[in-house]
Amino acid sequence: MRDQSLIRFRKVVAASLAELESRREEVNDLNVFPVADGDTGDNMAMTMRSVLDELDGLDGQLIDEIGREQLVSAVARAALLGARGNSGVILSQIVRGAAEELASRPGELVDPVLVAAAFARAADAAYDSVRDPAEGTMLTAVRAMAHRVAREIAHIDTPRLGPEATAAEQDELIAEVLERALDAANEAVARGPDQLPVLKEAGVVDAGAYGLAVIIAGVVAALRGHDQPDLAHQPPPGRPGHLPEHESSSFRFCTNFAVTGDALEGQSFLGRLEALGDSVLVVGDERTIRVHVHTDQPEWAVAVFDGAGTVSRLDVADMTEQVSQRS
């Protein structure tokens, strides 16, 4: 017998990915920060696709057999390994933070209170992953959602659900909470150009923030049984009228890879990676870390981990070529 909880979980993940895929080029076209390489939609979709593939691999199993902790751990790991680029890595940490909060509450139904806690932990994980957080981005959007949901649950008639709650009741309550989160995300997206001058200069909103709003809108639509989500911001057709040169990285290659090993301490590698480039992200746990760096020497970045673990999923993109193709 197929587990209906897993089926419902897969449904909302699939809906969020489908909505992101349908707007992937729109998200790509908004991408000017931190580098105008036009791949934010691709990178975020890759992260969500990895999560969906992991869930598909569990088809036919029961949550009681897997265990909530093991399930969310698998989801978080899938997001981590599927991540690429700044936006993909940050999104993977949003997924990880939310998943860890869900895993810490065994036996509790997912309800407004648990959703609020998951958003709070997701926002913390996202900010913790970035050495120098920039406001006006997807970081601002996830924090705005966390703050809005935390305030609004006081006005929800049923903030907690008991074991007698039906699936329909649960979907309705979660949709109500996520609609309020989406309002906050849309507001954060609209404010982005006032917080990040490069966005205003290019005449766009932040691609990652908008992509995050798209994901939440897809989840809400699935919970409501709607085909088309409601998004306050519709990005302009085509590409930004001006690609700000000063926001292009001084390094050429966007380098991404995973490292697996024992007792890995991701933060201990930051200094050596920062000596090789910028936009450094090192996230994960003691068994698996994901590395992202803009550098002129991808092979040197990989060599930083010689003896520390096994490097896999190496992906190197020529940002100079990507930016020139958009000019």
* Same structural domain, 215 and 262: no
**Is residue 14 in a domain?**
yes
Output the pLDDT for position 38. 84
> CATH no. for residue 315?
3.30.70
**Is residue 240 in a domain?**
no
* Same structural domain, 12 and 147: yes
* Same structural domain, 24 and 173: yes
Output the pLDDT for position 242. 53
- Mean per-residue pLDDT, 195-211: 95
Angle at Cα 182 formed by Cα 180 and Cα 187, nearest 5°? 100
* Same structural domain, 190 and 256: no
* Same structural domain, 258 and 209: no
* Same structural domain, 253 and 133: no
pLDDT at 228 over 90: no
**Is residue 242 in a domain?**
no
pLDDT in tens, 37-85: 788 999 999 999 999 999 998 876 766 667 778 888 889 999 999 999 9
> CATH no. for residue 82?
1.25.40.340
- Mean per-residue pLDDT, 249-271: 92
**Contacts (Cβ under 8 Å, ≥6 apart) of 119:** 98, 142, 145, 146, 149, 150, 181
* Same structural domain, 134 and 207: yes
Question: Total domain count for the chain?
Answer: 2
pTM above 0.85, yes or no: yes
**Is residue 172 in a domain?**
yes
pLDDT in tens, 97-124: 999 998 888 778 889 999 999 999 999 9
Cis peptide preceding 159, ω within 30 of 0: no
User: Where among 176, 198, 231 does a domain terminate?
Assistant: 231
* Same structural domain, 175 and 31: yes
Q: Out of 108-117, 158-167, 187-196, 274-283, which region has the weakest mean confidence (pLDDT)?
A: 158-167
* Same structural domain, 306 and 215: no
**Is residue 238 in a domain?**
no
Output the pLDDT for position 236. 44
User: Where among 186, 204, 231 does a domain terminate?
Assistant: 231
**Is residue 217 in a domain?**
yes
* Same structural domain, 225 and 258: no
**Is residue 243 in a domain?**
no
* Same structural domain, 152 and 268: no
Show the domain range for 55.
4-231
- Mean per-residue pLDDT, 217-246: 65
pLDDT in tens, 160-179: 888 888 889 999 999 999 99
**Is residue 236 in a domain?**
no
Q: How far apart are CA 221 and CA 230, in angstroms?
A: 8
First to last CA, the chain: 54
* Same structural domain, 43 and 162: yes
Mean pLDDT, rounded, of the chain: 88
The amino acid that residue 83 corresponds to is A
